[in-house]
Amino acid sequence: MSRGRFITLEGGEGAGKSTQIRLLAEALRACGLEVVVTREPGGSKGAEEIRALLVSGDTGRWGPVTEVLLHTAARRDHLERTVWPALEAGTWVICDRFFDSTVAYQGYGLGLGAEYVAQVQRVALGDFRPDLTLILDIAPETGLRRAAVRHGGEDRYERMDVAFHHRLRDGFRAIAAAEPGRCALIDATATIETVQARILDAVTRRLDLPAS
Ligand code: TMP
């Protein structure tokens, strides 16, 4: 049996990842693939416990380095318990956020720098990387307006100032520019159907899909 593929979706607040992940999972299942949808921080019991420490409370609750370590510890547990076993079993995994969020939010947003965050990822995860990363790009003001109508208290990052959100958007765009083989930058201001079509196009062009 061939190994599953690992697809990650990234972007700032309110970029529409949840809707697009649901639609992508439906499309892949229609091709006959086994698909698991998961998220970060979270996706395993321990990582969900760490998530609760990260997404609520005061914006300055953690120092930036501690925050990177917490996200990365959650990620390691998530990989060991959820993602790697699924990929080994031939299942495709769609993950709502992955290490690019740590580069963007903590590296660019909190100012630790992309290289520092990348080093921590290498120590904790080795050279494991997504097969494809879809980065949904949207102006922070638009995304934050959309995000304000959801989230039951999981809004610690949304409450960071708007300059933080501009820095992390710059971060995501820099990641997409630096790694065009792995990443596709998708304009997320279009309609749900248009964004979905762009995502399916990127997945079809970059990964081998079975004929449906
Ligand atoms: P979500 O709202 O998309 O579920 O993500 C939870 C929050 O965690 C979101 O505001 C982004 C933030 N985050 C980081 O700051 N660093 C990370 O490494 C990850 C995975 C998420």
pLDDT in tens, 116-135: 999 999 999 999 999 999 99
Retrieve residue 21's tokens: 């992940």
Q: Which of 17, 48, 105, 106 to mutate to test the pocket of ligand 1 (most atoms within 8 A of CB)?
A: 105
pTM: 0.96
Burial 1-21 (b: 16+ CB within 10 A, else e): eeebbbbbbbbbbbbbbeebb
53 Cβ closer than 6 Å to some ligand 1 atom: no
CA of 71 to the centre of ligand 1 (A): 9
Domain-located, residue 1: no
Tell me the CATH number at 168: 3.40.50.300
- Which range marks the domain in which residue 73 is found? 6-207
Does residue 197 lie within any of the structural domains?
yes
Examine the pLDDT at 152 and tell me if it is beyond 70.
no
Q: Which is nearest to 139 in space by CA: 8, 15, 16, 9?
A: 15
φ and ψ at 39, to 5 degrees? Answer: -150, 160
Number of domains in the chain: 1
Residue showing tokens 């390691």 = 76
Q: Has residue 61 got a pLDDT over 90? A: yes
Read off the pLDDT of residues 163-177 as tens digits, 9 standing for 90 and up: 999 999 999 999 999
Name the CA dihedral angle for 116, 122, 125, 129, rounded to a multiple of 10 degrees: 100
Res. 180: pLDDT tops 70? yes
CB half-sphere exposure, 136, CA atoms < 13 A: 30
Q: Is residue 212 part of a domain?
A: no
Q: Report how far residue 15's alpha carbon sits from residue 10's, in angstroms, rounded to the nearest whole number.
A: 9
